[in-house]
Structure 1
Amino acid sequence: MRTRRYGLHSARTRKPPVPRWRRPSGLLPPPPSPSHALPSAPRSTSRCQCLASHRSPATEHAAPASGAPLRTSPPLLPPPLRTAASSMAKIRSEVLSPFRSVRMFFYLAFMASGALGGLIALTRLLPALSDPARAAGAADTLKGLGIDVAAVSLFAFLYSRESRAKDAQVARLAREERLSRLKLRAGAGDVARPFALGELRGTARLVIVAGPGEFVAESFRRSQPLLRELAERAVLAVPFATDGNTPELRIDGGGDEDGVGDELARRSKRLWQLTPVYTTEWAQWLDDQKKLAGVPPDSPVYLSLRMDGRVRGSGVGYPPWQAFVAQLPPVKGMWSGLLDGMDGRVL
């Protein structure tokens, strides 16, 4: 029998095999002679194949050689989703209608309760109809089933109405967020820095006048008799010539001798000094608004914004400057800042 010895210093401890790269040079096979050497072309080809199989990700997207077919690879990152505006619109919708989510939750709860009651009544009604001995209580069971079905239908209608109102409000707020990101420039030159329309929230009531150059010029002429009153109400016009023929809108004349008149005169001269930047985005936003309102694409329109940047009125044709003067409160004195949300009903 073969005995095994255990110990750290056993004489019969088996040595581990020596790896190839640590073997003595005498055990290695002799190098091939030059006459038996392999040609260099196959060796370089195998090396190229090995390197090609371990290419880096950067070389995968390199331009192919001439004559080689173009190889397209999927993008490393998916395209960004447009969820920022919608999430902000949903938050604003929750702020404007804080109890809508509570109502929708109770509508769902009542629908579930009515559906459960109807299911229980249905399980009682089917045996009663099949068994004449239980037909006495079938009338009451059928009455309860009808009440449950009516309750489920009523709360389903209320829930769908709330859901449609929520979707419409979120869509309107999303359009207003898109409008607030459109760019403007104060003045006709390119020296002024462009800024977003949303930066004027709380400081001005904008009136967007969109149409051909003649329509913009006529709207400008109709507003001249009311420049002082419009300036008192912080109204600023944004002329947007859809045909590219932007007319020259220049207000001549000065104010009174006192300081208040000079300030109103300066504000009156700035009433038509806003210029849209990136007109393609402006045209796209206006086209979307016209499609939603069912207005022909070539119709001249106007949009009136409240002090908080929300749309308070719009229509086809010239802006009603006299109605703006009659409806909007002046921005001065003790009421300054308190009536910013009292500019009218939001469309």
Structure 2
Amino acid sequence: MPPKLPRVLADLGAVSLFAFLYLRENKAKDAQIARLSREENLSNLKLRVSEKKVIPLSSLRGIAQLVICAGPASFITESFNRSEPFTEGLVERGVLVVPLATDGNVPSFEFEESEEAKDITAKRKGLWRLTPIYVTEWTNWLDEQKKLAGVTSDSPVRVGYPPWNAFVAQLPPVKGIWSGLLDGFDGRV
């Protein structure tokens, strides 16, 4: 009987190893499915782009870099104010901000209307023009993110204001919608 003991131990070791690897792979697969589900839920959320146009978030895929700025209206207003020095760089990088007020108040965006600031004001309005539609769905999505991050529903997902300078430093500038494959077909080289 003793010669069979090493073989049984080896078999038990192999079964244990395969069970461990299977469970680890299954956990990774479940995490991937959960991430894809969250992304799908996010892509179905609606945004108001203009007075008459509402789009799903997914329609901006590949066109814009979205920053969801969620918190009380005062936090969003301060984030808006802090973004001003970086407006040019953010616009060059295709950044659009989705202000999601979690306290039910409307953030205050004050744009300078002087003739000298006309260009930068237009860019700032474009940067902050998106409005979440069906705020309850947005809030549910945000609460799901907090739950997955292991934070309480009354705490912020991220502490602090958006790092506008880091976005400008790390995101590459975007090219026009017709650049890339069709370069040169417009008569320019």
What TM-score do the two structures reach when normalised by structure 2?
0.85
Describe how 1:106-121 pairs up with structure 2 within 5 A. Answer: none
1:243 Cα deviation from its structure 2 partner: 1.1
1:324 Cα deviation from its structure 2 partner: 1.1
Q: RMSD value over aligned CA atoms?
A: 2.0
Task: Say yes or no: does 1:200 pair with 2:63.
Answer: no
Partners of 1:184 and 1:195 within 8 A in 2: yes
Give 3-state SS (helix, strand or coil) of 2:2's partner. helix
Q: Which runs of 5+ in 1 are unaligned?
A: 1-137, 256-263, 302-314, 339-347
- 2:23 maps to which residue? 160
1:162 Cα deviation from its structure 2 partner: 0.6
- 1:344 maps to which residue? none
1:150 Cα deviation from its structure 2 partner: 0.5
1:152 Cα deviation from its structure 2 partner: 0.9
The CA distance in 2 between the partners of 1:219 and 1:193, in whole Å, is 25
1:194 Cα deviation from its structure 2 partner: 1.3
- 1:241 maps to which residue? 101
- 1:330 maps to which residue? 173
Instruction: Give the residue type in structure 1 aligned to 2:118.
Output: G
Task: Say yes or no: does 1:254 pair with 2:118.
Answer: yes
Partners of 1:209 and 1:238 within 8 A in 2: yes
The CA distance in 1 between the partners of 2:67 and 2:122, in whole Å, is 18
Partners of 2:111 and 2:121 within 8 A in 1: no
- 2:73 maps to which residue? 213
1:265 Cα deviation from its structure 2 partner: 6.6
Give 3-state SS (helix, strand or coil) of 2:3's partner. helix
Give 3-state SS (helix, strand or coil) of 1:167's partner. helix
Partners of 1:209 and 1:319 within 8 A in 2: yes
Structure 1, residues 20-60: CA drift from partner, whole Å, max 9, x if none? xxxxxxxxxxxxxxxxxxxxxxxxxxxxxxxxxxxxxxxxx
1:289 corresponds to which of 142, 145, 148: 145
1:269 Cα deviation from its structure 2 partner: 2.8
Instruction: Give the residue type in structure 2 aligned to 1:149.
Output: L
Partners of 1:210 and 1:240 within 8 A in 2: yes
Residues 316-325 or 199-208, more deviating: 316-325
1:176 corresponds to which of 12, 28, 39: 39
The CA distance in 1 between the partners of 2:84 and 2:123, in whole Å, is 13
The CA distance in 2 between the partners of 1:194 and 1:249, in whole Å, is 21
The CA distance in 2 between the partners of 1:299 and 1:246, in whole Å, is 20
The CA distance in 1 between the partners of 2:77 and 2:152, in whole Å, is 21
1:193 Cα deviation from its structure 2 partner: 2.2
Give 3-state SS (helix, strand or coil) of 1:331's partner. coil
Structure 1, residues 276-300: CA drift from partner, whole Å, max 9, x if none? 0011111111111111212232233
- 1:276 maps to which residue? 132
The CA distance in 2 between the partners of 1:337 and 1:210, in whole Å, is 34
1:223 corresponds to which of 83, 89, 99: 83
The CA distance in 2 between the partners of 1:316 and 1:282, in whole Å, is 19
The CA distance in 1 between the partners of 2:123 and 2:175, in whole Å, is 13
Structure 1, residues 166-188: CA drift from partner, whole Å, max 9, x if none? 0011011101100100010014x
Task: Say yes or no: does 1:151 pair with 2:14.
Answer: yes
Q: Which has the higher contact order (CA 8 A, sep 6+)?
A: 2
Give 3-state SS (helix, strand or coil) of 1:240's partner. strand
What TM-score do the two structures reach when normalised by structure 1?
0.48
1:139 Cα deviation from its structure 2 partner: 2.9
Which entry has the higher C-alpha Rg, 1 or 2? 1
The CA distance in 1 between the partners of 2:8 and 2:21, in whole Å, is 20
Q: Which runs of 5+ in 2 are unaligned?
A: 182-189
